[in-house]
Structure 1
Amino acid sequence: MPSERELQISPIVHESVVHNSRTLSNLQTLAASLFGVSAGILGLESYSGFVFYLVFSLLTAVLFYALRVAPTSLAAGKPPLDTSRYFRGPYEFWAGGLMNGLAGFILTWTLFYGLVRA
């Protein structure tokens, strides 16, 4: 939790946190659809398709963190794993997109699986 002095020097703006959350959610939803297309074209079935989604969703979060969050955290002198400054919490950042993009993943996965295998 930031101290009052830190909040006075660089306040956390609620609108910015909401914007960051919306941007991350849009990225994860789009990525989930692309992963569904990939899984369908590869012909993945059952657990292998869901593992594919889980691995690549977490990889997307890691890449987003490495390219966007970590450099700004380090430049501000914050610990590298502190996402609370930019998002509502660590769960929202690391795992929030898993359930948000699951429906889009399954939809595009079955669509492209059916198109390729038909």
Structure 2
Amino acid sequence: MSAPNPDAAAHRIYMLNVQHNSALMTVKFLSACFAGATAGILGLQNWLGFALFLVSTLLTSVFIYAVNCKGRPAKYIPGGLWELVNPGQDNMFSFVLTWTLFFGIVHVYD
């Protein structure tokens, strides 16, 4: 048995759906930023802030799964469901950046 050809696997994914991934990743990025702003404004610290990030990531993934991917993420995203739920390093850094920014702005004199 030979290993599956990666080019053949890539051709099974519809390219217009893959091009739509930039919009999906933008939604995930904005969700992380808004969650960071919310955590900062609410004054969440330590694990509570990261729990908000986790909940926000999961809710965003469920929304994208149900509305945009219509229950078939493998058709739209090369990594399938795991890639949809994966928060990504960029989104986590964006969350922490906006979290600390808004925490510092709102709670500077506490």
**What displacement does 1:67 show?**
1.6
Distance 1:54 1:46 in 2: 13
> What TM-score do the two structures reach when normalised by structure 2?
0.78
**What displacement does 1:19 show?**
1.5
Deviations along 1:50-89, whole A, 9 cap, x unmatched?
A: 011001111011012122222xxxxxxxxx4x32111102
Distance 1:113 1:98 in 2: 22
Percent identical among aligned pairs is: 35
**Structure with greater contact order relative to length (CA < 8 Å, sep ≥ 6):** 1
Distance 1:88 1:20 in 2: 12
Partner of 1:94: 85
Distance 2:56 2:30 in 1: 12
Structure 2 residue 40 is matched with structure 1 residue 49: no
**What displacement does 1:98 show?**
4.0
Report matched runs for 1:1-118 at 5 Å: 12-14=13-15, 16-70=16-70, 80=71, 82-89=72-79, 90-95=81-86, 97-118=87-108
> What TM-score do the two structures reach when normalised by structure 1?
0.73
The alignment of Structure 1 onto Structure 2 pairs a total of residues equal to 96
Which SS does the other structure have where 2:49 is aligned?
helix
Partner amino acid for 1:40? G
Are 2:14 and 2:76, in contact at CA under 8 Å, matched by a contact in 1? no
Are 2:57 and 2:85, in contact at CA under 8 Å, matched by a contact in 1? no
Q: 5+ residue gaps in structure 2?
A: 1-11
Q: 5+ residue gaps in structure 1?
A: 1-10, 71-79
Partner of 2:5: none
